[in-house]
Amino acid sequence: MGTDSAPGFKRRPDYPIATKPAGVRVQVRFNGEVIADSRDALELKEGDYPPVYYFPRTDVAMDRLVRSTHHTYCPFKGTASYFSLRDGAENAAWSYEAPYDEMAAIRERLAFYPEKVESITAG
């Protein structure tokens, strides 16, 4: 394990969490506007949860987001920073800016809560 290994994986090395290229175009819409559009999104599958798509920041309309002061912690991924939508939902997107080594693939990428945007479509 690396120098910044996730404590979650140390306790539960069999925990099912993995990333892979989504392999399709993924879009996020809010109020009829496309705010994220990527053919380079990563799909993260964790446990029994639905897949989550992580977008490169270059494929996100960052001017539509405002960094919030909210943070959460995951023992598998690390500390997440949050972004609110301008004129929209608070803490609608999150990013692991310095994830644990095992989740380095999602570093600096953004993911969105489906219930806080109009739609997330893949394919």
Instruction: Give 64's contacts (C-beta < 8 A, 6+ positions apart).
Output: 30, 33, 35, 85, 86
Please give the span between the terminal C-alpha atoms of the chain, in angstroms, as a whole number. 35
DSSP 49: S
pLDDT digits (tens, 9 = 90+) for 23-74: 999 999 999 999 999 999 999 999 999 999 999 999 999 999 999 999 999 9
Determine the Cα–Cα distance for residues 45 and 35; give it in Å rounded to an integer.
23
User: 87, 35 in Cβ contact below 8 A?
Assistant: no
Of the options 1.20.1080.10, 3.40.50.300, 2.170.150.40, 1.10.10.60, the CATH number for the domain spanning 7-122 = 2.170.150.40
What's the pTM? Answer: 0.94
In the chain, where the domains are located = 7-122
How high does pLDDT run on average in the chain?
95
**pLDDT 10s digits, 103-113:** 999 999 999 99
Rounded to whole angstroms, how far apart are CA atoms 122 and 69? Answer: 29
Q: pLDDT band for 2, please (50, 70, 90 cuts).
A: low
